[in-house]
């Protein structure tokens, strides 16, 4: 549960930056999300509740995607692809 709480605290400012619709802030937010997904300290499959799962936390952070400009939408999709890869690695037990 502790990892989910840390993820939540890290994702909140990234989500707010993305929601600001400021291009520079949004780019930094997406880079931060990619870093978070690449850091094994923040990635785990075990949580007590559904809303604390990595998948749900990331989807919540990028829910503003449809209102972003096309370039940022593409970048969000890249983060989602990375996120999907991380989930597959976790389920199959492969090194990230």
Examine the pLDDT at 94 and tell me if it is beyond 60. no
Contacts of range 10-13, beta carbons closer than 8 Å, 24 or more positions apart: 10/36, 10/42, 11/36, 11/57, 11/58, 11/60, 11/61
Q: What is the mean pLDDT of the chain?
A: 84
pLDDT at 9 exceeding the cut of 70: yes
Q: What pLDDT score was predicted for residue 1?
A: 59
Which residues form the domain of 80?
2-92
Q: Could you tell me the pLDDT band of residue 63, with boundaries at 50, 70 and 90?
A: very high
Query: Model's pTM, two decimal places?
Result: 0.78
The count of domains in the chain is 1
């Amino acid at each position: 549960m502790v990892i989910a709480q840390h993820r939540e605290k890290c994702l909140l400012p990234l989500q707010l930056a993305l929601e600001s619709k400021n291009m520079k802030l949004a780019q930094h937010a997406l880079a931060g999300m990619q870093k978070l997904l690449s850091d094994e300290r923040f990635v785990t499959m075990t949580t007590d509740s559904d809303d604390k799962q990595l998948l749900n936390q990331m989807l919540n952070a990028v829910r503003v995607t449809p209102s972003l400009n096309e370039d940022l939408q593409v970048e969000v999709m890249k983060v989602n692809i990375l996120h999907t890869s991380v989930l597959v690695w976790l389920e199959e037990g492969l090194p990230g």
